[in-house]
Amino acid sequence: MKKIKKVHSGIFRDGGAGAYAKRRYRDRRNKLMGKEDFLIVITGVPYGPGGKTVWAYAHSPTYQEPAIMYLTGINQNNVILLLDPKSKVSTEILFVSRKDRIMEFWEGVRFGVGDKASLQEVQSVTGIKDVRDIGEFKDVLRERFVKNKKKSLATFWYEGIRKGRKTSITTDHNYDFKKKLAAWLREWKAPKGALKNIIANHFYLRLPLDKYDIKNARKAQEITGEGFRAMLKNFSDFKNECQIQGYLEGKMLMNSPYGLSYPSIVASGVNATILHYMKNDDPISKNEMILIDFGVRWMTMHADITRTFPVSGKFNPMQKLLYEIVLNGQREVEKAARAGITIDELNNVCWQSSMMV
């Protein structure tokens, strides 16, 4: 009898590249090292679903830091990637936890140090040959930093400009990691300004999608669209927001094992004025419009669709006027969209279209 090999898709997301995954991830890391000519360390999410707040445990098939997913395809908590472009020993080191059979009993198979077979699988998928215990990370980083002629260390955290001033997201694992690195650099007597952010070059490389990403994005949109059309056909059966959410999400998740893009918003009437409305439990009225914001993942690509329509199935004159203003804005943006145009430019097209009514 032939033994069936289980595929633990929760650990790796090859992006649909299959045998080409290793080359794909290696090329991405090499391009990043070509842009950032100094020591780089990036952390994955240090905890899985419910790991930080146990009472909030919920199934989430993909929870990895997207930067780590992009560079390695690894969907497992407590992972750190070190890139050292100038090293003559190893330019890439992946730090992972030790193999934990007890945790696997509860959560399923995970790769880890101390298990030769799982490490060989990691090396095969990622192309990273040097895999070490995450407990060694600080010592290895210090050794590499001290030996490096450029006394700079790069990492990744979310940073941007708001109202003309530089601002950062300070509540996530990336910023916690940045603070830890900054403390170590002070301990190691590093020069002022030694810690750098790779966010600009990282997104410069990550935002253009390759053929696998494009295929996956289309698949996610296709599944999401099918779920929406199925929900519309059965809309007369629904009495409240919760029933709409349940039916729509069920249809999407029947066709994708990768989870929702984000929690669905099903907002009737005035609820639609709350941008991130998630209560989704109010009854719906025939006189109202209803806004639905929803999507599903395929591999690591997300669909994101928002639709607004009258509960009764027919627009009243005011609803029709407002809807056509928005619809015309969408059409103008679609006509303007092309390679090289920015999101800000498309946003301006949208607002200009709205003001011409």
189 or 59: which leads in pLDDT: 189
Report the percentage of the chain scoring pLDDT > 70.
96
Residues 115 and 131 in one domain: yes
In this predicted model, what pLDDT tens digit does every residue of 184-213 receive, in sequence order?
999 999 999 999 999 999 999 999 999 999
How many Cβ atoms sit within 10 Å of the Cβ of residue 135?
11
The answer to the question of residue 195 being in a domain is yes
Q: How far apart are the first and last CA of the chain?
A: 70
Instruction: Please report, as a single letter, which amino acid is at residue 41.
Output: V
| CB 306, CB 293: distance < 8 Å | yes
Its sign, for the CA torsion 335, 336, 339, 344, is negative
pLDDT value at residue 4? 45
- Mean pLDDT within 309-334: 95
Residue 55 confidence (pLDDT) above 80: no
In the predicted structure, residue 28 carries a pLDDT above the cut 60 = yes
Cα dihedral sign, 322-327-328-330:
positive
Strand 165-168 and strand 92-96: pairing? unpaired
Q: Are residues 178 and 123 in the same domain?
A: yes
- Write out pLDDT tens, residues 277-303: 999 999 999 999 999 999 999 999 999
Contacts of 117 (CB under 8 A, 6+ apart): none
Tokens of 43: 């952390």
H helices then E strands: how many in the chain? 11, 13
Q: Is the pLDDT of residue 8 over 70?
A: no
Is position 5 within any domain? no
Asked if the structure places residue 320 within a domain, the reply is: no
Q: What's the domain count of the chain?
A: 2
Structural domain that includes position 307: 211-314
* Domain shared by 104 and 181, yes or no: yes
Question: Does one domain contain both 247 and 199?
Answer: no
Do 201 and 236 fall within a single domain? Answer: no
- Domain at 125, CATH number: 3.40.350.10
329, part of any domain: no
pLDDT at 10: 59
- Which of 206, 236, 263 is at the close of a domain? 206
21, 306 contact by CB (below 8 A): no
- Looking at 196-278, list the stretches that DSSP marks H as alpha helix, in order from N- to C-terminal side: 199-206, 211-233, 241-253
Q: Which helix (H) or strand (E) holds 7?
A: none
Alpha helices in the chain (DSSP H): 21-35, 66-72, 101-107, 116-126, 137-147, 173-187, 199-206, 211-233, 241-253, 317-336, 343-355
The reply to whether 70 and 142 lie within a common domain is yes
For residues 179 and 43, membership in a common domain is answered with: yes
Question: Is residue 63 domain-shared with residue 137, that is, in the same domain?
Answer: yes
Residue that is last in its domain, among 154, 188, 206: 206
Predicted confidence (pLDDT) at residue 357 exceeds the cutoff of 70: no
Q: Is the pLDDT score of 58 beyond 50? A: yes
Residues 115 and 230 reside in one and the same domain = no
Residues 93 and 155 in one domain: yes
Q: Which has more confidence, 251 or 58?
A: 251
Grade residue 356 by pLDDT with cuts at 50, 70 and 90. confident
Task: Give the tens place of pLDDT for each residue, 104-152.
Answer: 888 888 888 988 888 888 888 899 999 999 999 999 999 999 999 889 9
Mean pLDDT of 343-357: 89
Residue 41: closest CA among 32, 49, 28, 50: 32
Based on the fold, state whether residues 41 and 177 are members of the same structural domain.
yes
